[in-house]
Amino acid sequence: MIRKCSFPPVVDENVRVLVLGSLPGELSLAQGQYYANPQNKFWTLMSEVIGEKLNKLTYPERLQSLLRHGVGLWDSVAEAIREGSLDSRIRDHDHNDLVGLVERSPKLEAIAFNGGTAAKLGLKALGDYASRYQVIRLPSSSPAYTLSYQEKLNVWLMLRNWVN
């Protein structure tokens, strides 16, 4: 089975909140874009958080908009074996260097995990470093997590505390 790899982090020196997923799904990997599956509500939720219609922008413009608002993006998992896109299928994973990233992020105040698997694996990778930041456990933006959109949005809006 082929190992699947995450993308490089989307960060700059002004990131105040880092949103961590688990590992890109099949569609995202095929397109080389975070949250490429239109059924995943990530871009819609983040549009509400930052007050900009991200879905109408090109992918590079979306990433630039996140950075302009102080939002960084990455994954807890660097690479893993996974059949399909479900987090429950992640096996034999390696963590991304989250500690190295947060050490190079001077304005970082909060780390938000997009879903339970991202939180479980990310907190393990961060170890004691997690206590230096506000940690937010977001309900997954994935369609596999069946909480209503409004219930997800109510929690995601907490991110507004850290966006520019």
Residues annotated as part of the active site: 40
Considering only CA atoms, which of 141, 108, 87, 80 is closest in space to residue 16?
108
42 touches 95 (CB < 8 A)? no
